[in-house]
Structure 1
């Protein structure tokens, strides 16, 4: 398996786990049982499960109005979007930045 495929598999797995954690929490809320802590749901989103968290939030209609959870999840998603934009645009700006750094020395 190539490195890219391995990373894609890990990200997919994290998102599946995140979605399942939201489902579990929603089911527990309905049954009045032990709930998954919000901090754990946000942590799962932070480590790469934000697409799974948002998908679960929308499909399961879970934690859609809960504040500050909703805002914190959207901040995590925004951070991930910026990080991906920087990552994918790196081939465009990285050579210029490296040249500028070497010129400064």
Structure 2
């Protein structure tokens, strides 16, 4: 397996977990993960994990800061990964 694919898988798992943890913290009124951190992880390759986390945890789906950029980043990153693999 290529290192870029390993990175992509790991960063997406981390991003997915971050969205889940932030949702849990929101429900329990505890200190939250900053939106900038969530977006940063999406930008550095974790957009698919963020997108999956948004919908599986029903978290940040109404915020325009996440609603439009995260799906767009997901498409871009998946295309780039596909092109790197072929």
- Is the structural similarity TM-score above 0.5? yes
How many residues were matched structurally?
A: 86
TM-score, length basis structure 1: 0.69
1:69 aligns with 2:27: no
1:8: Cα distance to partner? 1.8
- Could you list the structure 1 runs, at least 4 aligned residues long, displaced by more than 6 angstroms after superposition: none
Unmatched tracts of structure 2, length 5 or more: none
Query: For each residue in 1:15-71, what CA deviation from the matched residue of structure 2 results, as whole angstroms up to 9, or x when unmatched?
Result: 110001001100000010111111111110111111111111111111111123212
Higher RCO structure (Cα 8 Å, ≥6 apart): 2
1:26 aligns with 2:23: yes
RMSD: 2.2
Unmatched tracts of structure 1, length 5 or more: 92-105
Report 1:8-47 matches (<5 A). 8-47=5-44
1:14: Cα distance to partner? 0.4
1:10: Cα distance to partner? 1.6
Larger radius of gyration: 1
Task: Indicate the residue corresponding to 1:97 in structure 2.
Answer: none
Hey, what's the Cα distance between the residues in 2 that align with 1:44 and 1:56? Answer: 12
